[in-house]
Amino acid sequence: MNRRDAITRVGLIFGGTVIGAEAFLSGCTKRSEEAVSWLDFSPGRISLLDEVGETILPHTASSPGAKEAKIGEFMKAIVSDCYEAKDQHIFMDGIAKLNAASQEKHNNDFTDLSANEKHDLLVAIDKEAKDYGESKQKDDPTHYFTMMKQLTLWGYFTSEVGSKQALRYEPLPGKYEGCIPYKKGDKAWAAI
């Protein structure tokens, strides 16, 4: 699968576009170090993004979680290299908002919450993001959690871990055979 196909599939999951995809498709022209020096992707923030991703796509008996796909590092790369400055600010402010919501609701940082507390907090923030998305105007910015969720799905299902262990992977799939039966519960095919 090429980059364009992967992003199109993730976009279809969300019913729209993926923030930063245009820059990614055009080659992610790397910005100068000065242009992104204000981005603070400390190890603590990478760990927080891994936890967000793991809460969205947790490890199960049949597939690894987003943390195993190093989703925090993926988010760092895409936000740093592909997002426009306005979207970078929204994303970075969103990390602070997520931790502030965690402090407000549980008096603890997001990374220190129990799995159930993380899940409940992200469900509430996801609802907030969906409500915002339904009422936002064309030129309004994207909600930060929408960005995090898109990057989690995009990064996970295009990673080696996600495509080879969470999906059915066929390195050389051959010709298209539309008559192969699908059984409920079968994994989707990875197309890399």
pLDDT (tens digit per residue) in 47-71: 999 999 999 999 988 889 999 999 9
Cα–Cα distance between 47 and 70 in angstroms, integer? 9
| Digit-coded pLDDT (tens) for 138-186 | 889 999 999 999 999 999 988 888 877 777 776 665 666 677 777 888 7
What are the domain boundaries of the chain? 3-190
| Digit-coded pLDDT (tens) for 101-138 | 999 999 999 999 999 999 999 999 999 999 999 998 98
Residue 90 C-beta-side C-alpha neighbours within 13 Å: 17
- Is 12 a residue whose pLDDT tops 90? no
- Is 11 a residue whose pLDDT tops 60? no
